[in-house]
């Protein structure tokens, strides 16, 4: 089987995905028309053409601007449903995605608007597509910790709908140490913890996420490779890194895909996974990410299967469900 076919054929879990980053230009255009919003673009093509980024911040500026077209419950339903259809297309059977509440609450769109829309699509996907979804409530790190604490409070009615809390947005200058109190509070409420670290920020931020925020997974973490002691800790404790190759390329974390360190990290024994991050903005959903890696790094079938199995190992699924999918991957690979 050609590797592109195998990529499509294997059931996968996606663990690092921002739902707001799945907003395709077509839907942005449609929702802008619906709500009489004037976009700073002349066409759908012009929106897509604007997706050229220098770094994380230049992307985030467009990403927050784009999210402004999401105004009512049905907009959030449509956004989520469109992503879940992509999951079906790419054979993603389980997804753990980040929601950025502050992106919406700060413009007057509350939990009572976006949560029912998301939940309606998630319920439909479970029933009609057989896809399971967990949500991660992610705090925006460029805002004060007080704002994150208030957001956690505002989410109260929806605690049962979130499995974990996360930390995203502008990394440099906003270290994990800034969010120690809100992560401690979330942990005491029973949430699992994850955080973006080591995307643009130094290995020190990964250490802080592990030691101060007590996270179970690191989102990105590719700069961990600069610190051999940290690398040893990540291997020994099998702490997952949810890596996003196409995002790293588009945000100039790496100059060329051929220089990406994900397969080296994998071969060194780290529990790395492949994810899309913000697929609309970076031009690739999960299979597109695997295909780019294959083209640039000549990934072996063995490496591909390991990466896919890692996505279930690193997930928050119960053990019996993990085992079910891991066995299915073995079976699928053996019969290819």
Tell me which of 14, 20, 277, 294 binds Zn ion, using CB under 5 A.
Answer: 277
Residue 21 interacting partner from Zn ion, ligand ADE, none (CB closer than 5 to 8 Å by kind): ligand ADE
Residue among 66, 75, 174, 83 at smallest CA distance from 125: 83
Whether 226 is catalytic? no
Residue nearest to ligand ADE (CB): 168
146-185 mask for ligand ADE (x: CB under 6 A)? ----------------------xx----------------
* Nearest approach, Cβ of residue 171 and ligand ADE (Å): 6
Cα–Cα distance for residue pair 183/196, rounded to 1 Å: 13
Residue 94 among known ligand-binding residues: no
Is 278 a binding residue for ligand ADE by CB under 6 A? The answer is yes
CB 329 within 8 A of CB 10: yes
Q: How far is the CB of 319 from ligand ADE (least distance, A)?
A: 30
Among 90, 96, 199, 294, binds ligand ADE (CB under 6 A): 199
Given its phi and psi angles, is residue 269 left (phi above 0), alpha (psi -120 to 50 degrees) or beta?
left
Q: How many of the other CB atoms lie within 10 Å of CB of 277? A: 31
Of these residues, 128, 199, 319, 323, which one is catalytic?
199
Residue 100 interacts with Zn ion (CB under 5 A): yes or no? no
200 binds, among Zn ion, ligand ADE, none (CB under 5 to 8 A by kind): none
Contact 190, 160 (CB under 8 A): no
Q: Is 14 in the site for ligand ADE (CB under 6 A)?
A: no
- Element containing residue 127 per DSSP (H, E): helix 111-128
Tokens of 247: 């995002």
196 binds ligand ADE (CB under 6 A): yes
Instruction: Check binding of 96 to Zn ion (CB under 5 A).
Output: no
C-alpha span between 170 and 251 (Å, rounded): 12
Does 24 sit near Zn ion (CB under 5 A)? no
Return the structure tokens found at 264.
């080296």
Closest CA to 180 of 145, 153, 227, 141: 145
Nearer CB in complex with ligand ADE: 167/317: 167
Q: What is the DSSP letter of 27?
A: H
Which partner from the list Zn ion, ligand ADE, none does 169 bind, CB cut-off 5 to 8 Å by kind?
A: ligand ADE
Residue 286's region, left for phi above 0, alpha for psi from -120 to 50, else beta, is alpha
191 and 221 in contact (C-beta within 8 Å)?
A: no
> Considering only residues 215, 277, 299, 306, which one is a binding residue for ligand ADE as defined by CB under 6 A?
277
Residue from 95, 208, 247, 261 binding ligand ADE (CB under 6 A): 247
Q: Where are the beta strands (DSSP E) in 54-128?
A: 92-99
Helices 25-34, 73-90: crossing angle, 10 deg rounding: 160
Residue 21 within binding range of ligand ADE, rule CB under 6 A:
yes
Regarding 171 and contact with Zn ion (CB under 5 A), the answer is no
Strand partners, 220: 197
For tokens 């702490």, what's the residue?
Answer: 239
Q: Does 56 bind ligand ADE (CB under 6 A)?
A: yes
Residue with Cβ nearer ligand ADE (20 or 294)? 20
Q: What is the largest CA-CA distance in the chain?
A: 54
Residues serving a catalytic function are: 199
Residues near ligand ADE, by CB under 6 A: 18, 21, 56, 63, 168-169, 196, 199, 247, 277-278
Residues near Zn ion, by CB under 5 A: 277
């Amino acid at each position: 089987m050609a590797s592109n076919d195998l990529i499509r054929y294997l059931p996968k879990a996606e663990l690092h995905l921002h739902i707001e980053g799945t907003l395709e230009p077509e839907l942005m255009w449609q929702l802008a028309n619906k709500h009489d919003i004037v976009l700073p673009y002349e066409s759908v093509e012009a929106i897509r053409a604007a997706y050229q980024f220098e770094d994380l911040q230049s992307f985030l500026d467009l990403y927050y601007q784009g999210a402004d077209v999401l105004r009512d419950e049905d907009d959030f339903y449509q956004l989520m449903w469109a992503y879940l259809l992509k999951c079906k297309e790419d054979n993603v059977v389980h997804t753990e995605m980040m929601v950025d509440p502050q992106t919406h609450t700060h413009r007057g769109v509350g939990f009572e608007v976006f949560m029912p829309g998301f939940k309606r699509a998630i319920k439909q996907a479970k029933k009609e597509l057989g896809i399971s979804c967990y949500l991660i409530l992610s705090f925006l790190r460029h805002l004060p910790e007080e704002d994150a604490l208030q957001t956690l409070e505002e989410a109260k009615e929806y605690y049962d709908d979130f499995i974990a809390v996360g930390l995203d947005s502008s990394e440099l200058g906003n270290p994990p140490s800034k969010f120690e109190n809100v992560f401690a509070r979330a942990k005491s409420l029973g949430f699992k913890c994850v955080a973006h670290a080591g995307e643009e920020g130094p290995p020190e931020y990964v250490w802080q996420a592990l030691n101060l925020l007590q996270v179970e997974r690191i989102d990105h973490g590719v700069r961990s490779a600069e610190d051999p002691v940290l690398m040893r800790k990540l291997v020994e404790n099998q702490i997952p890194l949810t890596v996003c190759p196409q995002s790293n390329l588009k945000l100039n974390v790496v100059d060329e895909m051929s220089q990406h360190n994900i397969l080296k990290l994998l071969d060194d024994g780290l529990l790395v996974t492949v994810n899309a991050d913000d697929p609309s903005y970076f031009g690739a959903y999960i299979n597109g990410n695997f295909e780019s890696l294959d083209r640039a790094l000549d990934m072996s079938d063995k490496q591909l299967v390991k990466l896919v199995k890692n996505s279930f190992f690193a997930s928050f699924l119960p053990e019996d469900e993990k085992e079910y999918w891991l066995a299915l991957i073995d079976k699928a690979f053996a019969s290819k």
